Structure 1
Amino acid sequence: MKKYFKENLLITIGILLTAISLEYFFYPNNIAAGGISGLALVLNKIFGISPGLILIIANIILFALAFILIGGNFGGKSIYASFGLSLVLWLIEKYLSPTAVTHNLVLATVAGSVISSLGIAMVFSQNSSTGGTSIIAKIINKYLHLDIGKCLLITDFIITILAIYTFGVDLGMFGLISVFLIGSMVDKFIEGFNVCKQVFIISSKGEEIVKYILNEVDRGCTVLDGTGGYSKANNQIIFTVVNRRQFIKLKFKIKEIDPRAFITVNDVREVLGEGFTMLEG
């Protein structure tokens, strides 16, 4: 239950950040930063329909097509994220009358891209997505056999061309810059969420350290018997992977148990298995 609450809380925060970037940075400045949200801005300019309403209709159509054409194995979290974003956008437009935080196009592009990237990364980190062009990309992938990344690039490029036609070259190019900024920053943010510490501990008091890792840190570990190359002393080599908060806790405890312990620490970008992201997830 706690894990379910945490996942949905992070998805909700990600939805809110993405909505803020769209309604207070991109939309008021006519910056179409790719995706269905960019297409919604173009259609809003042409037909005067609320972008939030366009997103709701677009997601209904896209999910229906996905279920018909590719089976639609997206899960409840992706449905929640995609329609949740559409609903939040519609509510902001209806009740808050959003205006641009800045009309400086460079600042709006950079700030909007950073906020949007963080929001999208939070959603992606919970094995969810906001739908939109990712669904179109999967359909193209199935029938044209192109890589997903190339399919996403194709859909975003088409939307950018529409934005250039609708808003002019300058605004269209800012939208293209934002597409590339978001694409690169999302990966960096996701890496930041997933970074853990890979720890090797060599100590003569290994049993006490292992007990602390298992009972207090609540992580697993692997223990190997070792012999010092110079001292010939028998030691235990303990291998474990912990998150950053747990590592701080573990480091201070090791100092208390065995000040002479030898520790090596490495950052790891992704951990799969029990206690972390399961392989089948």
Structure 2
Amino acid sequence: MGDFQMFKSKSLQSLFLIALGSLIYAIAINYFLIPTKLGEGGVTGLTTIAYYTLKIPPYLTNFILNGFLLLVGYRFLDRRTIIRSIWAVIWLSIFLKIPVFYTYHTTETIIPTLAGGVLTGVAMGLILNAGGSIAGSTILGRIFNKYFGMQIGSATLFFDLAVAIPSVLIIGFQNMLLTVLELYLSAQLTNVFLSRFGSKKSINIISNQTNLIAQKLSAELHQGITLIKASGYYSQTERPIIYLICSSKQLAEIIPLIREIDPQALIVVDNIRSVRAEELYRLL
């Protein structure tokens, strides 16, 4: 029962993060990209072009085109990803349909370019980290990540540029260059955001009080502690090394515990990226 409740809680959290990411993405489009007549990549780029040329509402184009791509993705991606992607597309269409309350105008077009890139990068990081996508080029990016090992952000950027560069005929050369800059910034932030998932600290502890420290850490952290057999070359004495992985928050609790037992203990801390095998794609 406890495992089911935990699974349900994590699922609800993921759905909330996907909806939040969709909101941020819609804000970037409605408040920064469209008012400045900037383009975008993938399906979103096609929605902006349809809006600039035919005045078709972005939410409508987004819903129809992404619905088609989700059918393509259904054949290559797992069911959970598709369901959460449908959830993201629905919310993105809803948020895109909400009227704009304030239209942002500036002659410094680099400002909305950077703002759009940051917001879309953060939004994509939230959505992808929660196991979803906004379909479009991210569906293709996930397929390339799964079968060719390409980073999701980089693969998505490739497909985005295939739409953004030809948009020069609609938005002009300068705005096309700004669109490419926005897409690059968004892709880099997406990669950084995903690489931070599972970011942990690894700790190696060498002490004369190995057993006491291991017992204390195991009791406090409620997790396994690994003892690595080792011996000192100079002293020729065997002294196991305590090895564990923890979060940055846990590290702040661990150091005082070790100092309390053995102030002379040698502690080596490294930054690592780790996830369970089933979530390995997040690090690629």
Could you say whether these structures have the same fold, taking a TM-score greater than 0.5 normalized by the shorter chain as the test?
yes
Distance 1:102 1:234, change over 3 A: farther
Aligned-residue CA RMSD (Å): 2.9
| Residue number in structure 2 paired with 1:164 | 168
Task: Give the letter aligned to residue 34 of structure 1.
Answer: G
- Work out whether residues 232 and 238 of structure 2, in 8 Å CA contact, stay in contact via their aligned partners in 1: yes
Quote the offset at 1:230 in angstroms: 4.1
| 1:32 matches 2:48 | no
**Which of residues 65, 79, 85 in structure 1 aligns to 2:86?**
79
Distance 1:42 1:279, change over 3 A: closer
| 1:41 matches 2:48 | yes
Quote the offset at 1:257 in angstroms: 2.5
| Residue number in structure 2 paired with 1:267 | 271
| Residue number in structure 1 paired with 2:57 | 50
| 1:182 matches 2:172 | no
TM-score w.r.t. the length of structure 1 is 0.82
Query: Share of identical aligned residues, percent?
Result: 25
| Residue number in structure 1 paired with 2:23 | 16
| Residue number in structure 2 paired with 1:206 | 210
Quote the offset at 1:132 in angstroms: 0.8
| Residue number in structure 2 paired with 1:7 | 14
- Work out whether residues 59 and 83 of structure 1, in 8 Å CA contact, stay in contact via their aligned partners in 2: no
| Residue number in structure 2 paired with 1:64 | 71
> How many residues end up aligned between the 2 structures?
269
| 1:132 matches 2:139 | no
How many angstroms apart in 1 are the aligned matches of 2:149 and 2:210? 48
Structure 1 stretches of 5 or more lacking a match? none
Q: Could you say what secondary structure the match of 1:45 adopts? A: helix
- Work out whether residues 133 and 139 of structure 2, in 8 Å CA contact, stay in contact via their aligned partners in 1: no
Task: Give the letter aligned to residue 101 of structure 2.
Answer: S
Q: Could you say what secondary structure the match of 1:23 adopts? A: helix
| Residue number in structure 1 paired with 2:3 | none
Alignment deviations for residues 155-193 of structure 1 (CA, whole Å, 9 cap, x no partner): 323311342111111111111111222222221222234
Distance 1:102 1:236, change over 3 A: farther
| Residue number in structure 2 paired with 1:240 | 244
| Residue number in structure 2 paired with 1:114 | 118
- Work out whether residues 56 and 87 of structure 1, in 8 Å CA contact, stay in contact via their aligned partners in 2: no
